[in-house]
Structure 1
Amino acid sequence: MEWHQLPLGPLQTNCYIVSKENRTCLIFDPGEESEKLIKWMNEKQLKPIAIILTHAHFDHIGAVDDIRDTYQIPVYVHENEADWLSDPALNGSHLFKVGKLIQGKPADHVLTDETNLTIGDFAFNILKTPGHSPGSLSFYFAEGNLVISGDALFNGSIGRTDLPGGNHHQLLSSIHEQLLILPEETIALPGHGPVTTIGREMDTNPFLNGF
């Protein structure tokens, strides 16, 4: 299994593509620049089979409908943010006015109490990591030794909690109870900025000390 990081859009939101040897792939958080993303995947001869969202803030969902329509693939989001895809007031595109207002189509699959998911040849764990937003999820691939942490955990930082539905204490609890229990060598793929590891954040992240 391989993974690729593509920063997209004005906020350079990290889109991740996780792929298998058979060229099938999952797309996480296609935030913007759908043409750039489609061109990249076509050059790599990848075959997307699903779009999965860590959460539904505008900078993580801007290219969802373009990618879904191009490849005719389903979209997955947590139930707490299912309405956000079509509501600019909830997804933040109305508040921040960075690019277009996002009024997308509903997700094809709404995640509720699932703790694991299999899509095609991909099997992974769903980790509920609310705090940055009420429906934030992280996705752990034991096979690839990686976790896609969205805007919960960053390299040397954590997600902001001053947006609607944010909760600082809840975010810290999510990180400690869901992410820091993973093997220390686990590669953490954040929603913005460079990758890190769980062990590095345990040792050096100043926001996690003293919790």
Structure 2
Amino acid sequence: MVNVALEKLGKNLYLYPGSPSTMIKTGEKTVIIDPGNGSKRPKELRRELRKIGVEINYIIATHAHADHVAIVPKLDKPLFIHRYEFSIAETPLNRELLTFGSKAPKGFLVYQFPSEVRVHAIFDWSDELFGLRALELPGHSPGMTGFLDEENAVLYAGDSFFGERVIEGVGLPYLIEPNLFKESIKRLVNYAEEGVLLIPSHGKSVKGEEALNLLEFNLKRVEAGESKILELLKTPRSVSELSYFLAKSFDAKITPQALALNQVPIRAIIADLYNKDLIEPVIEEDLKWKAKP
């Protein structure tokens, strides 16, 4: 990503594209949102900020997944994060628990890293931080937060929705609670209808009709996943089997990592279907689930 340059989004507002992209708000103090990961990333960010004559003063994270906060220790600046994400950020094991569901095999996840990430301050939804308003967008993670720059009509939405290529690659949007994820998408629709530029961490910035179409794609893919799982459970299946057959049905990647990560949203959907009394557990040499008649 050496040749990537800052994109100017508006007054005192910039974007460093990537996966995740990093938003930068300048002014009296310079704050960066979701610094990201990778050994070269700190040097790249500092290089681009020098070009506009500023240095990092503070860091905000939309949530505590490793790919969003891995380089925080190397930047050595105060980190602000939602209170629901605090313990996830500070403990490497907690990050793996949220991402994988348990301790992950060494090197199995792309963004495993052992460093502690020290949180200096926590915030709540609706708080104002450095000219940005914290928005409630959970579903992908417990304290998933978007940041709205009202002056520039720009909303950095983190992983509350994803670019189309990202979803097509893995099959399902990564989520831990499908209903919260869908509610957050519907909140984002309101901003898109008002002409706000929406920026996902993984995917290109979108506005207007393009934004509405992408949000609809995210919503429909979750709903399709729910329907396909219920259909697949006409035959009793384990979570692992569901992960494989669901990926096949979406023409997504079939890799150990993708299948393992997809088990997280699948378990979340299974919990919801069970709560709605649509499926039940069965034992057939393994714990499986089946649709009720």
TM-score normalised per structure 1: 0.79
SS in 1 for 2:57: strand
1:39 corresponds to which letter in structure 2?
A: R
Contact between 2:83 and 2:122, CA under 8 Å: does it hold in 1? Answer: yes
2:94 pairs with one of 50, 73, 90: 90
Residue correspondence of structure 1 range 19-58 to structure 2 within 5 A: 19-20=26-27, 24-32=29-37, 33-58=41-66
Q: Deviations over 1:112-153 (max 9, x none)?
A: 3x413142xxx2221111101111000111101100000112
Give me the whole-angstrom Cα distance separating, in 1, the residues matched to 2:111 and 2:159.
Answer: 20
Higher strand content, 1 or 2: 1
Q: Which of 16, 29, 34 in structure 2 is aligned with 1:6?
A: 16
Between the aligned partners of 1:100 and 1:39, the Cα distance in structure 2 is: 26
Against the structure 1 CA distance between its residues 100 and 44, is the aligned structure 2 distance closer, same or farther, given a 3 Å change threshold? Answer: farther
**How many residue pairs end up in the alignment?**
194
What residue is the counterpart of 1:103 in the other structure? 115
**Which among 72, 81, 88 is matched to residue 64 of structure 1?**
72
The structure with the greater share of residues assigned to helix is 2
Q: Is the 8 A contact 1:85 1:107 kept in 2?
A: yes
Alignment of 1:130-149 (within 5 A): 130-149=138-157
Determine if contact 1:155/1:201 at 8 Å carries over to the other structure. no
Select which of 180, 203, 216 maps to 1:170: 180
Residues in 2 aligned to 1:118 and 1:7: alpha-carbon distance in whole angstroms? 22
* Structure 2 unaligned spans of 5+: 1-10, 224-293
Deviation, 1:41, is 1.5
SS at match of 2:219: coil
Distance 2:34 2:177 in 1: 22
The question of whether the paired residues in 2 share the 8 Å contact of 1:86 and 1:102 is answered with no
* Pair 1:100–1:147, CA change in 2 (3 A): same
Shift of 1:193: 1.6
Provide the C-alpha distance between the structure 2 equivalents of 1:199 and 1:102, rounded to a whole number of angstroms.
Answer: 42
Partner of 2:59, secondary structure, is strand
1:207 aligns with 2:207: no
Of structures 1 and 2, the larger Rg is shown by 2
Structure 1: gaps spanning 5 or more residues = none
Within the candidate set 165, 176, 190, 1:181 is matched to 190
Deviations 1:38-81 (A, max 9, x none): 222123211323211011100000111221x2xxx421111111
TM-score (norm 2): 0.59
Cα shift at 1:170: 1.1
Q: Does the CA-based 8 Å contact 2:73-2:115 persist in structure 1?
A: no
The answer to whether the 8 Å contact 1:76/1:111 transfers is yes
Aligned mates of 1:18, 1:74 — CA distance in 2: 15
- Which range moves more in the overlay, 39-48 or 185-194? 39-48
Q: Does 1:17 align with 2:29?
A: no
Q: For residues 102 and 149 of structure 1, what CA distance do their matches in structure 2 show?
A: 27
Indicate the RMSD between aligned Cα atoms, in angstroms: 2.6
The percentage of aligned residue pairs carrying the same residue is 23
Letter of the 2:179 counterpart: H
